Amino acid sequence: MTPRTPGADLPDHPDWLWRNPDPKPSYDVVIVGGGGHGLATAYYLAKNHGITNMAVVERGWLAGGNMARNTTIIRSNYLWDESAGLYEHALKLWEGLEDELDYPLLFSQRGVLNLAHSLQEVRDSVRRVNANRLNGIDAEFLDPAQVKEICPILNVSDDIRYPVLGATWQPRAGIAKHDYVAWGFARALDRMGVDLVQNCEVTGFERVGDRIVGVETTRGDIRAGKVALAAAGHTSVLADSLGLRLPIQSHPLQALVSELLEPVHPTVVMSNAVHVYVSQAHKGELVLGAGIDAYNSYSQRGAFHTIERQMAAAVELFPMFARAHVLRTWGGVVDVTPDASAIMGLTPFEGLYVNCGWGTGGFKATPGVGWCFAHTIAHDEPHPLNAPFSLDRFTTGALIDEHGAAGVAH
Amino acid sequence: MMLIPCPWCGPRDESEFHYGGQADVRYPENPGTVSDEEWGRFLFYRDNPKGVFAERWVHAAGCRRWFNVERDTLTNEIRPAHDATTRTVTR
Ligand SMILES: Cc1cc2nc3c(=O)[nH]c(=O)nc-3n(C[C@H](O)[C@H](O)[C@H](O)COP(=O)(O)OP(=O)(O)OC[C@H]3O[C@@H](n4cnc5c(N)ncnc54)[C@H](O)[C@@H]3O)c2cc1C
Ligand SMILES: [Zn+2]
């Protein structure tokens, strides 16, 4: 695609992109949660499997959850084959998504640097680069001078508390404008006749024995042939109403943006050790994220000391940020699993499918989730790419431990 | 930032504490007879309520002792558990 002037692409106001229908009494498929994952799943159910008698049911406004709150980083340089398979499938879909949806997503493959600050991190990073390459994923290990070349504003001197000893580099990684991604999917779904039902909270399920046949909502009961959960941080609340226990914990995750600045930051920089990640949005804000707040919470805010820590790390790595003003901070509710990998697949209930546990890093997976979850729902069987992410791995022990391995903050 | 009531030191800033997750998770009584399913439950499954949650904190930068509180995970309203200081720590 030819480069475009940022802002020149601003799409239509969302009101004009989709209808705002009342729920019908019944659908073939009801998807709970109108974030990126719910929308992408509906899109590929319609496109790849011909299912359009379908509703995406959202308790608030469309894509107002984590979809509107994340720091938009997209990459696929995960360590394990299972993760690499899923995230790389997603990245390949991202690469064609603007054309496919015929909608600007401001998808920008500006690359991502994952910094290493200790000898052990250097070794882990080199290992991950090798694993990435074996999986056909673009990856390189760079020394501090090469890192500086790619991101000149980064402080690579060796007299800071956690000096940069090197970094992994994935050139195809980048960012996309999260709202536009949701709106692009929503517009396409609306055109295919799928109902996007807002202000409609699912409060329970209708069941016949162990079969789920519908949902109870704040706007009445809706019968459904199949029900798919894509409710991110709130999945436990929904599953509890069925007595279904899931190995997830919901935590606040915060981010912040600066005022608008001249283009200064050419790529995405992430550091697991000092835990900050930053890129510059198309308009010019510096977008910074931190780690989760330690405690469980459903309030979409966290504590200030988390932000202070993140800012201290950022200013040490990027001394020029000391002069930038914070414009806004906010939080989302993310669901974290014990092995830092998602859960996607069947449940003990017939006709109920679960997609959750993406924690701090599910935006990048959005199209891949949609593709694989749609397959799982349509065929009552996981797609080969999401089969390893089934719930039973917490019994069999076949965990996908990205936590320690790939530095999976996002 | 939350003010967390340490039973020994009184209310202190959250940043003095570390989080310990759900309170009173018991190690299986007869480990030899526990099924894979039950081990999985013990290791990986915790409650995740939207509402009151009995949980543990350690006053890491203070008296370094563990205790329990009940906290509303939506509002962050927090009160000492009735047996805040007596419950045995099992994990
Ligand atoms: C601060 C922050 C930074 C992040 N940064 C990144 C990043 O840089 N890169 C990355 O890959 N990921 C990132 N993430 C994670 C990413 O945002 C999530 O993993 C991803 O958005 C989850 O999928 P989703 O988009 O469907 O979730 P959401 O957008 O949260 O969708 C779930 C929807 O379900 C709705 N819902 C919940 N309960 C009900 C109910 N009972 N009835 C009806 N609807 C319901 C919610 O309102 C919500 O809209 C970040 C998250 C946060 C909070
Ligand atoms: Zn104390």
Query: Block means of pLDDT (10 residues each) for chain A, length 410 residues?
Result: 59 80 98 98 98 98 97 97 98 98 96 97 96 98 98 96 96 97 97 98 97 98 98 97 97 96 96 91 94 94 92 94 95 96 98 97 98 98 98 96 72
Give pLDDT tens digits for A220-265: 999 999 999 999 999 999 999 999 999 999 999 999 999 999 999 9
Contacts of B49 in chain A (CB under 8 A): 236, 240
The complex's ipTM works out to 0.94
Chain A residues 283-312 with a CB less than 8 Å from chain B: 294-299, 303-305
| Exposure string for A195-232, b = 16+ CB within 10 A, e = fewer | bbbbebbbeebebeeeebbbbebeeebbebbbbbbbbb
Q: Which amino acid is at A54?
A: M
Residue partners of A323: CB distance under 8 A and separation at least 6: none
Phi/psi at A333 (5° precision): -110, 115
Which of B19, B41, B49 minimises the CB distance to A295? B19
Residue range A43-69, pLDDT digits in tens: 999 999 999 999 999 999 999 999 999
CA B10 – ligand 2 centroid, Å: 7
**Considering CB atoms only, which of A237, A250, A305 is closest to B15?**
A305
CB of A243 within 8 Å of any CB in chain B?
Answer: no
**Spatial contact of A314 and A278, defined as CB atoms under 8 Å apart:** yes
CA-nearest residue for atom 9, ligand 1, is A73
CA-A361 nearest atom, ligand 1: 12
> Which of A234, A240, A338 is the closest to B44 by Cβ?
A338
> Whole-angstrom Cα distance, residue B81 to residue B89?
14
B78 vs B61: CA distance, rounded Å: 20
Residues with CB under 6 A from ligand 1: A 32-38, 57-60, 63-67, 69-73, 201-202, 230-232, 234, 238, 253-255, 289, 332, 334, 358, 360-364, 410
CA distance A339 to chain B (A): 9
Task: Give the whole-angstrom CA distance, residue A72 versus residue A356.
Answer: 18
pLDDT for residue B82: 78
For ligand 1, the distance from its centroid to the CA atom of residue A274, given in whole angstroms, is: 24
First to last CA, chain A: 27
pTM of the model: 0.96
